[in-house]
């Protein structure tokens, strides 16, 4: 199972409404407690870069889990934040954030 | 920050962060009173407002703008900026300098403009950092809800931020969200939506 597949599983655990369209390479993420949602174009490479950037922060917030799980958690919080505060309904995930 | 201020200077907007459901203004005393689908009313630049939370008015002062006020480039991520008591569920909420991924630097880099936009739109006459901290403290201290997400092990404290005009009418309601890690009690981010 790839990191992307594991991350999609995590997103579904966070909110069962979150989905992944493998053909389009797009995840759909819903805001916390809201019906707002947005699409994020994602690839194995962009996810890997983003997770690497978040591992240190994730470990500070959740020191009791491994680095990947901590980074999954932090990234999912960031994606929900983007959904709640952004003005678009489509973003592209990259190593430094979303655009 | 819990100070009572009878009046903020003329032209300043009043904000109320309350635990009651928002009530959209239906008869705002503005020369322009268009109401959007979210209950937003075009603010009157000459409008006079007050800011309250549970009966306590917002009395923010102006401080110098900085990337993440209180955090210098040499400060470690774990330097504490502020700590608030949080309730329902209870504990503390720790705001640390953090980095691009969490904490005060993350908020400064990604959400300062969102806070500043509200200040500018309603002539609040304060700075984003003061306003953001006031919202964080009051949200975790008296949340409308704080759902726990077991997959992320976070509580997301939430409260309605209400913008009121001089007549006390709600002209806009935002939802303030403050995700907090459940084990380390570190604030991840804080934003109005």
Q: Is residue B97 part of a domain?
A: yes
The pLDDT-based confidence of B58 (bands split at 50, 70, 90) is low
Q: What CA–CA distances, in Å, run from A22 to A3, A8, A17, A40, A50?
A: 14, 10, 16, 12, 19
**B113 has a chain A CB within 8 A of its CB:** no
Once rounded to an integer, what is the mean pLDDT over residues B17-43? 35
DSSP B84: E
The pLDDT-based confidence of B188 (bands split at 50, 70, 90) is very high
Once rounded to an integer, what is the mean pLDDT over residues B139-165? 97
How many whole angstroms separate alpha carbon B16 and alpha carbon B30?
19
The shortest C-alpha distance from B98 to chain A (Å) reads: 8
* Structural domain count, chain B: 1
Q: Is residue B68 part of a domain?
A: no
DSSP B115-172: HHHHHHHTT--S-HHHHHHHHHHHHHHS-SB--EETTTTEEEEEEEEEEE-TT--EEE
How many whole angstroms separate alpha carbon B65 and alpha carbon B148?
34
How many whole angstroms separate alpha carbon B173 and alpha carbon B41?
10
**B126 has a chain A CB within 8 A of its CB:** no
Q: Is residue B170 part of a domain?
A: yes
User: What residues contact residue A94 under an 8 Å CB cut-off, 6+ apart?
Assistant: A46, A49, A50
What is residue A99's predicted lDDT score, i.e. its pLDDT?
54
Better pLDDT: B44 or B169:
B169
The alpha carbon dihedral of B53, B157, A87, B81 has a sign of: positive
Chains A and B: how many Cβ contacts under 8 Å? 81
Q: Is residue B8 part of a domain?
A: no
Residue of B nearest to A98 (CA): B110
Q: Is residue B67 part of a domain?
A: no
**B101 has a chain A CB within 8 A of its CB:** yes
What is residue A82's predicted lDDT score, i.e. its pLDDT?
95
User: Distance between alpha carbon A66 and the CA centroid of its chain, in Å?
Assistant: 17
The pLDDT-based confidence of B41 (bands split at 50, 70, 90) is low
Domain range for B178: 14-59+76-192
What is residue B159's predicted lDDT score, i.e. its pLDDT?
97
- Asked whether the beta carbons of residue B184 and residue A31 sit closer than 8 angstroms, the reply is no
Q: Is residue B9 part of a domain?
A: no
Q: Is residue B6 part of a domain?
A: no
How many whole angstroms separate alpha carbon B61 and alpha carbon B57?
13
Express each pLDDT in A40-59 by its tens digit. 999 999 999 999 999 999 99
Q: What CA–CA distances, in Å, run from B81 to A87, B94, B120, B170?
A: 30, 8, 25, 32
Question: Which residues of B are less than 8 Å from A64 in CB distance?
Answer: 183
Strands (E), chain A: 19-21, 26-30, 37-41, 90-94, 97-98
Closest residue to A73, CB basis, from B77, B106, B152: B152
Closest residue to B179, CB basis, from A64, A77, A96: A77
Q: Is residue B5 part of a domain?
A: no
**B98 has a chain A CB within 8 A of its CB:** yes
Express each pLDDT in A68-99 by its tens digit. 999 999 999 999 999 999 989 999 998 666 65
**A10 has a chain B CB within 8 A of its CB:** yes
CB B76 within 8 A of CB B159: no
Once rounded to an integer, what is the mean pLDDT over residues B158-183? 95
Whether the pLDDT of residue B8 is over 90: the answer is no
> Whose CA is closest to B184, among B80, B61, B33, B57?
B80
**B37 has a chain A CB within 8 A of its CB:** no
What is residue B161's predicted lDDT score, i.e. its pLDDT?
96
């Amino acid at each position: 199972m790839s990191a992307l597949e594991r991350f999609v599983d995590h997103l579904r655990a966070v909110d069962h409404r979150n989905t992944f369209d493998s053909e389009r390479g797009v995840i759909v993420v819903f805001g916390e407690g809201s019906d707002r949602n947005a699409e994020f174009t994602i690839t194995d490479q962009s996810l890997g870069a983003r997770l690497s950037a978040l591992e240190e922060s994730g470990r500070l917030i959740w020191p009791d889990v491994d680095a990947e799980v901590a980074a999954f958690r932090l990234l999912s919080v960031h994606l929900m934040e983007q959904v709640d505060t952004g003005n678009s309904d489509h973003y592209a995930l990259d190593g430094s954030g979303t655009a | 920050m819990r100070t009572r201020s009878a009046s903020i200077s003329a032209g300043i907007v009043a904000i109320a962060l309350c635990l009651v459901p928002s009530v959209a203004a239906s008869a705002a005393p503005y020369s322009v009173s268009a109401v959007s689908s979210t209950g937003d009313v075009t603010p009157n630049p000459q409008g006079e407002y007050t800011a309250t939370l549970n009966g306590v008015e917002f009395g923010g002062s102006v401080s110098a703008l900085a990337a993440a006020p209180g955090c210098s480039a040499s400060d470690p991520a774990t330097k504490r900026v502020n700590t608030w008591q949080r309730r329902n569920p209870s504990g503390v909420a720790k705001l640390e300098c953090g980095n691009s991924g969490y904490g005060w630097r993350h908020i400064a880099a990604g959400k300062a403009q969102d806070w500043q936009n509200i200040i500018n739109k309603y002539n609040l006459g304060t700075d984003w950092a003061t306003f953001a901290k006031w919202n964080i403290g009051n949200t975790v201290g008296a949340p409308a809800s704080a759902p726990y997400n077991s997959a992320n092990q976070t509580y997301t404290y939430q409260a309605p931020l209400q913008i009121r005009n001089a007549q006390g009418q709600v002209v806009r309601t935002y939802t303030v969200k403050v995700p907090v890690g459940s084990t380390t009690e570190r604030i991840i981010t804080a934003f109005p939506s």
